[in-house]
């Protein structure tokens, strides 16, 4: 009996040591990411160390069903990574690849640019400067349904609507702040990260978009638009016009160049979304279409249209290859990051750290809502420090299924909180790509932009938490 007690005590000590080691690795991982170490390698090494600790803690059967033990434990960790990569690339990874490829083709063929110029037209009919600001913010989020890059969308808005905002009486800082903070919600199925979020909570991307994202985003974006109007008007009155006015002649020339693209090209970016909204189990039950199929079909249809309109077969064929170049590019960025993030998450599970934190959350009475708020806050802090919502989100998102299971939840509410936080709080980071680009164009400090985006983003974040907690 005494021997059993001794063994139990020894096991508890080993478990405690493992938890402390796991926590130390997580902290070091966060530090390395903040210090701009290469994220993929940081997460891979951290994941490897965590899985080793998990085995030392007694985890023996850590390989998934689609993996076979090599016969040597050291090799098995890399077999685990191979199996994770294979699973990811066959599922959500492939969808992200195809979505990224289609987005690149739309950019190269000029369809994304033309789409934005058409959507921006109604803004020119308005005369109230701050009403225009609010409308630009709302339209920017509508554009996010087909344009997934915050930096790319910001540059298009700078060319199309930035001069208009300034001409009607707003300061360049107000215009820059609104443009820099668009796309606070990355919508499925266009966004690869949103597709991953849907996959992790076992939802079809279209269902995730229609039933959850749009329900949450509609009031949040409206509240943020109103807050922007109030905040930017206040700062304009308080500080006056700051920053340098851009070269309108140059911008006007760029806008006219974009409008040379035939109008039919403006319809191309929305084609996959239209197909997915029609051919799904919620609308047209006899014919269903997944995201990858819709993207491939849309790519081919757009190629045929471009071939007919352009009447330069070689040029159209060359442009069509952008689909595959985009897939390659997204593999080295987003999909590769998902591989190592899943490996890292597996290590966290093996060490028992996730289970321990969930038990702590339960004992503190946090529940689903409280846990979601804490996790979203963590992701938000990492996003602000690193400037990358993708890195912050993918690092922790893979633990959601495990968290949801322990909390007897479907995990959707927690996922919405975490996913939205990673997108929304990017506009608070002085090192975020979109902030740096817009600040450079307006010839002001990134901190001057953040001063104007902080209140709308924080208000939007709180509103999002309230809505998700109340509805989901």
Separation in Å, CA 299 to CA 96, 108, 266, 272: 15, 12, 14, 9
pTM: 0.81
Q: Is the four-CA dihedral 282, 283, 285, 288 of positive or negative sign?
A: negative
What integer best gives the mean pLDDT of the chain?
A: 84
Q: Which runs of consecutive H residues, i.e. helices, occur in 279-321?
A: 291-310, 313-320
Separation in Å, CA 235 to CA 136, 159, 222, 240: 18, 24, 20, 7
Cβ contacts of residue 53 below 8 Å, gap of 6+?
Answer: 18, 21, 22, 25, 347, 350, 351
> Once rounded to an integer, what is the mean pLDDT over residues 440-469?
91
Tell whether the model's pLDDT for residue 389 goes beyond 70.
yes
Q: Which of 122-126, 303-307, 365-369 is predicted with the least confidence, judged by mean pLDDT?
A: 122-126
> Once rounded to an integer, what is the mean pLDDT over residues 143-165?
81
Tell whether the model's pLDDT for residue 346 goes beyond 50.
yes
Q: Is the four-CA dihedral 193, 196, 200, 201 of positive or negative sign?
A: positive
Percent of the chain with pLDDT over 90: 26
**Which residue in the block uniquely carries the two structure tokens 């979304």?**
273
Tell whether the model's pLDDT for residue 66 goes beyond 80.
no
Would you give the DSSP letter of residue 171? -
Q: Which of 53-67, 103-117, 180-194, 222-236 is predicted with the least confidence, judged by mean pLDDT?
A: 53-67
Q: What's the confidence (pLDDT) of residue 9?
A: 54
Q: What's the confidence (pLDDT) of residue 127?
A: 73
Q: What's the confidence (pLDDT) of residue 3?
A: 46
Is residue 153 packed enough to be buried (19+ CB in 10 Å), middle (13-18) or exposed (0-12)?
buried
Closest CA relative to residue 337, chosen from 49, 97, 67, 24:
97
Tell whether the model's pLDDT for residue 270 goes beyond 50.
yes
Query: Torsion angle, CA of 282/205/179/432, rounded to 10 degrees?
Result: 170
Tell whether the model's pLDDT for residue 378 goes beyond 70.
yes
Cβ contacts of residue 253 below 8 Å, gap of 6+?
Answer: none
Please say whether the beta carbons of 444 and 180 come within 8 A.
no
Tens digit of each residue's pLDDT (9 = 90 or more) over 41-53: 999 999 999 999 8
Tell whether the model's pLDDT for residue 7 goes beyond 60.
no
């Amino acid at each position: 009996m005494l021997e059993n007690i001794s063994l139990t005590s020894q096991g508890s000590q080993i478990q405690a040591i493992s938890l402390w080691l796991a926590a130390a690795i997580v902290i070091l991982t966060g530090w390395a990411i903040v210090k701009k170490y290469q994220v993929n390698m940081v997460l891979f090494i951290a994941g490897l160390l965590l899985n080793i600790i998990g085995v030392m803690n007694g985890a023996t059967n850590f390989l998934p069903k689609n993996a076979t033990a090599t016969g040597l434990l050291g090799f098995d960790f890399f077999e685990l990574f191979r199996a994770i990569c294979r699973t990811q690339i066959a599922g959500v990874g492939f969808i992200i690849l195809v979505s990224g490829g289609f987005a690149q083709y739309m950019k190269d063929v000029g369809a994304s640019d033309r789409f934005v110029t058409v959507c921006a037209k109604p803004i020119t009919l308005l005369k109230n400067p701050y009403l225009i600001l609010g409308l630009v913010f709302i339209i920017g989020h509508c554009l996010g349904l087909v344009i997934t890059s915050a930096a790319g969308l910001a540059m298009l808005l700078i060319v199309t609507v930035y001069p208009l905002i300034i001409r009607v009486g707003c300061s360049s800082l107000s215009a820059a702040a609104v443009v820099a903070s668009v796309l606070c919600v990355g919508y499925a199925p266009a966004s690869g990260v949103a597709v991953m979020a849907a996959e992790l909570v076992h939802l079809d991307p279209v269902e995730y978009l229609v039933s959850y994202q749009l329900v949450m985003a509609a009031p949040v974006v409206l509240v943020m638009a109103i807050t922007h109007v109030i905040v930017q008007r206040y700062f304009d009155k308080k500080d006056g016009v700051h920053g340098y006015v851009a070269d309108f002649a140059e911008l006007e020339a760029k806008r006219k160049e974009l409008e040379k693209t035939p109008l039919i090209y403006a319809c191309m970016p929305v084609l996959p979304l239209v197909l997915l909204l029609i051919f799904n189990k919620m609308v047209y039950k006899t014919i269903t279409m997944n995201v990858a199929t819709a993207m491939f079909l849309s790519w081919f249809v757009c190629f045929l249209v471009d071939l007919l309109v352009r009447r330069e077969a070689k040029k159209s064929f060359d442009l069509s290859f952008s689909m595959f170049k985009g897939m390659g590019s997204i593999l080295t960025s987003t999909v590769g990051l998902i591989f190592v993030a899943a490996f890292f998450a597996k290590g966290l599970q093996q060490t028992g750290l996730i289970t321990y934190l969930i038990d702590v959350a339960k004992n503190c009475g946090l529940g689903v809502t409280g846990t979601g708020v804490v996790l979203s806050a963590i992701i938000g802090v990492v996003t602000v420090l690193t400037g990358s919502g993708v890195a912050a989100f993918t690092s922790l998102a893979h633990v959601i299924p495990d968290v949801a299971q322990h909390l007897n939840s479907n995990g959707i509410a927690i996922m919405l909180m975490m996913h939205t936080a990673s997108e929304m709080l990017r506009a608070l980071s002085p090192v975020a790509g979109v902030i740096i680009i817009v600040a450079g164009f307006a010839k002001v400090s990134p901190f001057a932009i953040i001063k104007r985006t902080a209140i709308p983003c924080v208000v939007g974040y709180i509103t999002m938490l309230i809505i998700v907690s109340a509805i989901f």
